[in-house]
Amino acid sequence: MCLNGWGGKLHEDFLPYVATTAPDILCLQEVVHSPETDKDWLTYRDGDHVLPQRANFFRDVCRALPEHVAVFCPAAQGVLWDEERSIPSQWGLATFVHRSFPIIGQVQGFVHKTFSPVGYGDHPRSRSAHGVRVFDYSVHRALSVTHMHGLRDLNGKMDTPERAEQAQKLLDLSKRVSAPNDLTVICGDFNVEPDSQTLTILAEAGLSELVTGRGFNSTRNSHYKKPGRYADYMLINQEEAVKGFDVIFDREVSDHCPLILEI
């Protein structure tokens, strides 16, 4: 499963859904980790942009998936607010792998800028990626899965040199964690349109994109009010290995739809 968790805004629906589906591998973006507080909720402020944030969303998901190994990959540390008190808080992505699958390789890196230790930074902000390589004994093969949260440009989802560079960095990270014969998956909230240079770069590397390739016309649900219905993508290097792929619209646990791949 690949999903942007929206900072845990819908955690009352999100956590039971994830606990029930319990995907073998969960690639989760927009994860909040605030280890200096036990508060459940804090507030994110960026000018007129004010959002509630689940203060320890990473902890919450870890508790919902107790049989998974969890890795949190911060992109930046800034502050969230408890009324007028500032609380240090890290923001990034996380990967959860069921303990039955041995993790035989990992890679973590940045696809845009680098770690921002003091403040979230100016837009477009730092963005990280994480990849794991696991061994699947049921079919006796290795699988690599790498995901990112693509940069957000305030001007829109158009192609930019920065987005082309981040696509290449994502591809390079995937290659670093993969062996030549691996089944390879790349996914995430890319923040681009289907005709983007990002997806062209990945297609030219031999990866098949499943969202548009399987006829889905959106990865957003009713919580997302803006135009532009695509953000999330999943790609695989051996499409014949796909047993099933779905974009989940009937369980709204974020403003993004979960992407679920069965192989």
Q: Which tens digits make up the pLDDT trace of 42-66?
A: 999 988 888 899 999 999 999 999 9
Strand stretches in 99-213, DSSP E: 103-112, 127-136, 141-149, 183-189, 208-209
- Largest Cα separation within the chain, whole Å, is 54
Domain count, the chain: 1
CA distances from residue 173 to 12, 79, 248, 255 in whole angstroms, order as listed: 34, 29, 28, 27
Q: Does the pTM exceed 0.75?
A: yes
Shortest CA distance to 25 belongs to which of 133, 152, 163? 133
**Nearest 5 degrees, angle CA 127-CA 132-CA 136?**
155
Q: What's the CATH number where 147 sits? A: 3.60.10.10
Residue 139 has pLDDT above 90, yes or no: yes
Parent domain of 204: 2-262
Cα gap 50→8, rounded to integer Å: 15
DSSP of 212-231: HHTT---SB-TT--SS----
Contact 152, 111 (CB under 8 A): no
Q: Which tens digits make up the pLDDT trace of 153-202?
A: 999 999 999 999 999 999 999 999 999 999 999 999 999 999 999 999 99
